[in-house]
């Protein structure tokens, strides 16, 4: 059992976009939410992560973003430095549909490799 603890500062400032870049050949704009260190499944961490994800959605839906990145498909990447707690992965499985509802692709990355999470039907 993993006894590591984390704090919400490990997901950075709630109101900030951590990293964004355009991949022209894919016609996509990527916004990365970087999670530093181990992300535990505590309720305060889940809430902070959801709050930050909500901020990404708001940013993508803003008039400024739509004008700046017109014609590019938005992709939000949740980027972990360490494998997160299972509760975080379960939470994220429920967020895929949330992002899809806004036309945003949601992807997941551990270190330098993308990984899949099966979408939860709950």
pLDDT in tens, 39-66: 999 999 999 999 999 999 999 999 999 9
Token couple for 16: 């900030």
Quick check: 79 and 92 in contact, CB under 8 A? no
The residue ranges of every structural domain in the chain are: 35-115
- Whole-model pTM: value is 0.91
Residue 122: pLDDT band with limits 50, 70, 90: low
pLDDT in tens, 12-46: 888 999 999 999 999 999 999 999 999 999 999 99
């Amino acid at each position: 059992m993993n006894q590591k603890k984390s704090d919400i500062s490990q997901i950075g400032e709630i109101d900030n976009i951590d990293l964004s870049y355009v991949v022209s050949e894919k016609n996509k704009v990527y916004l990365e939410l970087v999670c530093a260190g181990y992300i535990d499944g505590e309720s305060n961490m889940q809430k902070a992560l959801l709050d930050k994800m909500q901020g990404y959605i708001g940013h993508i839906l803003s008039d400024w973003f739509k004008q700046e990145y017109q014609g590019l498909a938005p992709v939000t990447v949740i980027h972990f430095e360490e494998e997160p707690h299972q509760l975080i992965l379960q939470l994220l499985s429920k967020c895929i549909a949330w992002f899809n509802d806004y036309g945003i692709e949601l992807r997941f990355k551990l270190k330098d490799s993308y990984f899949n999470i099966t979408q939860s039907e709950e």
